[in-house]
Amino acid sequence: MEIVKLTDKNTPEFEMVFKWNYDWWGKPNGKSEEEVRCILENSLMTERLPQTFVALEDGEALGMYQLSMHDDLVSRPDIYPWLINVYVDEKFRGRGVCAQMMRTVADNARKANLPELYLYTKHVGLYEKYGWEFVEYVKTFDENSPIERLYKLNY
């Protein structure tokens, strides 16, 4: 398995990442396919953010994550940069894909000249395994998950 920066929208990996994002957060939040595709196409930066990384094995996309200056945590505009959209395809869960991806986050953040990273999640115990430190509980103003956990990664 390798974790690579996604920089080309004309690949099967891009199409799989687009499908994940549309099904996962686009469609449930009333976003059009065109809007999700546009957002993703503009996350294929090489020198600045946002950047998208994908886990590949034998040419097949297994999972993804992004480094971004923005996230949808509207209650905390003072916090950035972010690790966002950490996702592993359901058929590959339980195979260590997330662990492999998390092992590359700090190096990729350093390459992007980011001094630290933040993320928020409802998961307890997952990110701590990879060096993330719990900071506090944050209000998300999302009726499905109004309070989540804020984490910071120093490297």
Q: What is the pTM of this model?
A: 0.94
Single out the residue of 48, 82, 72 nearest to residue 145, CA to CA.
72
CA atoms within 13 A on the CB side of 46: 3
Per-residue pLDDT of 12-45, as tens digits, reads 999 999 999 999 999 999 999 999 999 999 999 9
Read off the pLDDT of each residue in 101-123 and give the average, rounded to a whole number. Answer: 96
Instruction: Indicate left, alpha or beta for 119 from its phi (over 0: left) and psi (-120 to 50: alpha).
Output: beta
- For the chain, which domains are there? 2-154 (3.40.630.30)
Is the Cβ–Cβ distance between 56 and 106 less than 8 Å? Answer: no
Q: pLDDT value at position 139?
A: 95
Q: pLDDT value at position 1?
A: 96
* Phi, psi of 77, deg, nearest 5: -70, -10
